[in-house]
Structure 1
Amino acid sequence: MTVGVALNATESDNQIDATVRLAGEAAAAGLRSAWFGQTLGADSPQLAAIVGRDVPALQVGTSAIPVFGRHPLTVASQALTAQAATHGRYHLGLALGTRLLTEGGYGIPFERPAARLREFLTALRQLTETGTADFDGELLTAHTPVPARVPGADTGVPLLVAAMGPQALRVSGELADGILPYLAGPRALAEHIVPAVTKAADAAGRPAPRIVALVHGVVTDDVDAVRERATDALAFYEQIPSYARVVELSGGTRAVDVAVIGDERTVSAEVRRYRDAGATEVVFSGTEIAGDADRRRTWDLLGALAD
């Protein structure tokens, strides 16, 4: 199993330099991949390109870029540039996004998200595989009067989706290379997410999808204090219906209920549960809430668990 981490160097005078430093530490600990969330701050494909170029031992990826407020032509250029910069080690994650950001931030109606995802992936696949697009959908149009190629990006770009709901899982199975579920515990993965996306991929004649499970987790002895901080950090997701639903399907009531917090034995056992539930890769996030010592301890354990 590939084991990676989501990097979030927010407390720094220079976020880019700090992220590269953290990525180097992650690689030294034996981790295989580093992932970057897309916020209103640093641009995640650019950050992935910089880190991937400076730390060649790591696969790098975004998790994930919302399809609302963006266009496949633009995202393809970003992805192909990152793929060329990293010599084929970049993985592009997409997301439906949320009504809060889509309507409140961009002023775009959050309508027909699964249909938009389908059209976005269809056009983006053409662009990343051939450098051209000739697509007219109901919601998106993508044409290339000149080829959209980046020399050096010759291996294609793996396309993944932060999908957890039935419609998004069906679209992802048919058109993407895998999924990036977050806050989905082993029960939700095994009983709902993995079967749905695998069935869709099989029906579309596609290979078995990658299941990159993003897990909020920390190795620590100070479990109560870290759990309290995690409760506050994750409370935002409880306002978003898709996350609230997947937490419930996982057997929890609050987002923190699916967090993995404990000693090495506890965390190792939980990683095995994710593997047994169908995860092909596990990516830990949230270690920044526990301090440097626990972060290093977490990364050392995860590095030891990597295949």
Structure 2
Amino acid sequence: MSRSVSVLLPIVPTRAEQAAPFAAFVQWRGARALWQGQVLLNEQHQILAQLSGMGLRVPFGIGVSLMPLRHPVQAAIEARTLAAASGHPVTAGFGPGARAFQAMALGEPYKSPLTACREYLHIVRGLLDGDEVDQRGTYFSYSGSIPRSPAPPVEVGLGVLRPGMARIAGETADVAITWLTPPSYVRDVIVPALREGAEAVGRPVPRVVSIVPMAAAADGRNTLAVLGTGSSDHFAAPHYRDMLTRAGVEVDGEDPSATARSLLAAGGALTGDPAEMAAGIAAYHAAGADEVVLNNAGLGMLEGPRAVLRDLEALFNGNGW
């Protein structure tokens, strides 16, 4: 598999024009794809489809859509529609979300998130493959198919933080998507669990996409504050805290900058000059990540999109991704 670098949209746009400079960067600077995570301000597929309508047709990744918000049939249709609109492959990642969010959306959390994910991905993948699906699940059911329609391929991804979910990804997903996972944890925990799940059902091991926070060094910039700002919500979430602790990262419930310092020491964030950040990306590739997605959310929040684009330009200049 080729090793590649992509860009996470570092802002939450209300109009596609606000995201356009980042799609143009991907289009012209050789990044593999433009990614966006789940937000509640807008519907991410619509923003990305609007970019395609503006002529900014690039591969897109969704990392990740929260399963409680859409039935898997709708998820399959949305992902295929985006692939058709863009003319490029789409990586459609899904995840159950935090237990608190599950309770908000569903009334109560999934008793077994692993079962929910297995059922969800089975329906989405089957429909995208043109199969007749007949599943009566604990959480997700569907009997039927969707009409065939020409479109570039859609990879079905699953967000993974811990070994149980990684094994489910190995059984059912095309892609395993990690967030805040240090490279040693990808190598020693995620990849072996993916392989175990895939071998159990006789299918290829999913490729690995690691979404990694970045804060380039710059005069007057507090890089730990940038990293902490961009990841503070994740640092506070119980499932992320558990993963980070397993990975040897000290989580400080009061100070996101302190957690960012420990994450940085573990290689789970990128900072420094372009050469130092390129070395950090290479460490992820060596650990088994096929694609590294650069997350500049903290910088986007504190300094705005122009600062993010300047840093990305400096990083990509001279690197052969």
Q: Common fold, TM-score beyond 0.5? A: yes
What does residue 55 of structure 1 align with? 56
Deviates more, 1:63-72 or 1:296-305: 296-305
TM-aligned CA deviation for residue 107 of structure 1:
2.9
What is the CA–CA distance in structure 1 between the aligned matches of 2:209 and 2:289, rounded to whole Å? 6
* Native 8 Å contact 1:220 1:294 kept in 2: no
- Identical positions, percent: 25
What is the CA–CA distance in structure 2 between the aligned matches of 1:157 and 1:22, rounded to whole Å? 22
What is the CA–CA distance in structure 1 between the aligned matches of 2:308 and 2:154, rounded to whole Å? 34
- Which blocks of at least 5 consecutive residues in structure 1 are unaligned? none
Matched, 1:238 2:252: no
TM-aligned CA deviation for residue 110 of structure 1:
3.5
What does residue 149 of structure 1 align with? 147
What is the CA–CA distance in structure 2 between the aligned matches of 1:240 and 1:194, rounded to whole Å? 23
- Matched residue type, 1:55: L
What is the CA–CA distance in structure 2 between the aligned matches of 1:114 and 1:156, rounded to whole Å? 25
What does residue 70 of structure 1 align with? 70
SS for the counterpart of 2:103 is helix
Q: TM-score, normalised by structure 1?
A: 0.89
TM-aligned CA deviation for residue 25 of structure 1:
2.5
**Corresponding residue to 2:217 among 205, 217, 220:** 220
* Native 8 Å contact 1:216 1:259 kept in 2: yes
Matched, 1:33 2:33: yes
TM-aligned CA deviation for residue 117 of structure 1:
0.4
* Native 8 Å contact 2:210 2:291 kept in 1: yes
SS for the counterpart of 1:181 is strand
Where do residues 122-161 of structure 1 align in structure 2 (5 Å cutoff)?
122-130=122-130, 132-144=132-144, 147-149=145-147, 151-153=149-151, 155-161=152-158
What does residue 285 of structure 2 align with? 275
TM-aligned CA deviation for residue 27 of structure 1:
2.5
What does residue 7 of structure 1 align with? 9
TM-aligned CA deviation for residue 52 of structure 1:
4.3
Distance 1:223 1:118, change over 3 A: farther
Deviates more, 1:211-220 or 1:67-76: 67-76
Where do residues 155-304 of structure 1 align in structure 2 (5 Å cutoff)?
155-222=152-219, 225-254=222-251, 255-256=259-260, 257=263, 258-286=268-296, 287-289=299-301, 290-291=303-304, 292-302=306-316, 304=318
- Which blocks of at least 5 consecutive residues in structure 2 are unaligned? 252-258
CA RMSD, 1 decimal: 2.2
Deviates more, 1:209-218 or 1:283-292: 283-292
Deviations 1:236-258 (A, max 9, x none): 21222221122223332145223
What is the CA–CA distance in structure 2 between the aligned matches of 1:222 and 1:189, rounded to whole Å? 32
Deviates more, 1:76-85 or 1:276-285: 76-85
TM-aligned CA deviation for residue 273 of structure 1:
0.7
TM-aligned CA deviation for residue 303 of structure 1:
6.1
Q: TM-score, normalised by structure 2?
A: 0.86
SS for the counterpart of 1:158 is strand
- Matched residue type, 1:149: P
TM-aligned CA deviation for residue 152 of structure 1:
2.2
